[in-house]
Amino acid sequence: MKLKNIGVLGFQGDFVEHIETTKKALNKLSFEGNIIMVKTKDKLQNLDGLIIPGGESTTLQTLCIKNGLWEDMKRIKYIYGTCAGAILLAKKVLHKTKNQQTLELMDIEIDRNAYGGQISSFEKKIKTKLGNFDAVFIRSPRITKTGKNIVIIAKERNEVLACEQRDKDKYYLVSCFHPELTTTIFHEYFLKKIYSQ
C-alpha cells in the first residue's frame, strides 16, 4: 500500500491530540503514512488528506488566509473537520460574524457555538455507524440542515452529530464533537477513505 501524507492544521485546537490519534489509527490499520503539521502554504503540497481541528472558526479562517493557505485548502481531496473545522467546511453558517467566510465545500448548514460557551461543554456516550463511544463536545456547533449528498454517520434525537459527503473525486467528513480526545474510530474511518483511493 502506497505511503500517504496526512496534514493536520496546526494553528489552534487539539492539533497535537489529532496528530497522536492519527498515529495510533495508522498503527491500528497497519498503514504507512507521514503526518505533517500544517502552518504554511508549502506544507499543503502533496497532501493526500487534511484534518482541520477545533478552535475558534473566525480565528482559524484569519490565520489560514494570513498564511496563504485558504485557496489551496479547497484543492485538498480528503478533508476531515472537527468542531470549528466542521464550520469551515460548511456551505452555510448561522450566526456568523460580519466578515466570516468558510471554504464552502460541504452541503451542510451549521450553527456555530450552538451549545453556548466553554462552560456549556460536556461529554456523553453516543451511538454512531462506526461504533459507540464517549464523545466530548466543547463549544460545539450544531448541524441544522444537510444536502441530498450528505450521509449521516451519527445522529441523536434528530440532531446530526457527524456526516460525510463524497463529491466526485473529493471526500469530506465532519463531526461536531472531538473524537481525538477519546477514540481512534473516526480517524481510522477517514484514513481508510484516503488509502482506498
Q: What residues does 79 pair with on adjacent strands?
A: 50, 172
The number of domains in the chain is 1
pLDDT over threshold 70, residue 43: yes
pLDDT over threshold 90, residue 117: no
- Comparing 117 with 156, the larger pLDDT belongs to 156
Give the span between the Cα atoms of 39 and 68, in whole angstroms: 9
Grid cell listed for 6: 496526512
Q: Which of 18, 164, 178, 188 is catalytic?
A: 178
194 appears as a binding residue in the annotation:
no
The region that residue 63 occupies, defined by phi over 0 for left and psi between -120 and 50 for alpha, beta otherwise, is alpha
Q: Residues 51-79: what's their mean pLDDT?
A: 95
The pLDDT of residue 120 is 63
Q: Residues 159-185: what's their mean pLDDT?
A: 95
Residue 56: pLDDT band with limits 50, 70, 90:
confident
Q: Is there a catalytic annotation at residue 187?
A: no
Q: Is there a catalytic annotation at residue 188?
A: no
Q: Is there a catalytic annotation at residue 18?
A: no
% the chain with pLDDT above 90: 77
pLDDT over threshold 90, residue 97: no
Q: Which of 64, 163, 180, 188 is catalytic?
A: 180
Q: What is the CATH number of the domain that holds 168?
A: 3.40.50.880
The pLDDT of residue 26 is 98
139 appears as a binding residue in the annotation:
yes
The pLDDT of residue 194 is 98
Give the span between the Cα atoms of 6 and 97, in whole angstroms: 30
The pLDDT of residue 167 is 86
Q: Residues 153-173: what's their mean pLDDT?
A: 94
pLDDT in tens, 3-23: 999 999 999 889 999 999 999
- Give me the residue label for grid cell 473516526: 186
Q: Residues 171-196: what's their mean pLDDT?
A: 96
Give the span between the Cα atoms of 103 and 80, in whole angstroms: 13
Contact between 129 and 112 under an 8 Å Cβ cutoff? The reply is no
Q: Residues 108-112: what's their mean pLDDT?
A: 92
Mean of all residue pLDDT scores within the chain: 92
Q: Which of 64, 83, 163, 176 is catalytic?
A: 83
Residue 85 — φ and ψ, nearest 5°?
-65, -35
20 appears as a binding residue in the annotation:
no
The pLDDT of residue 116 is 57
Q: Residues 130-139: what's their mean pLDDT?
A: 88
Residue 113 — φ and ψ, nearest 5°?
50, 40
142 appears as a binding residue in the annotation:
no
Domain, as residue range, for 71: 4-195
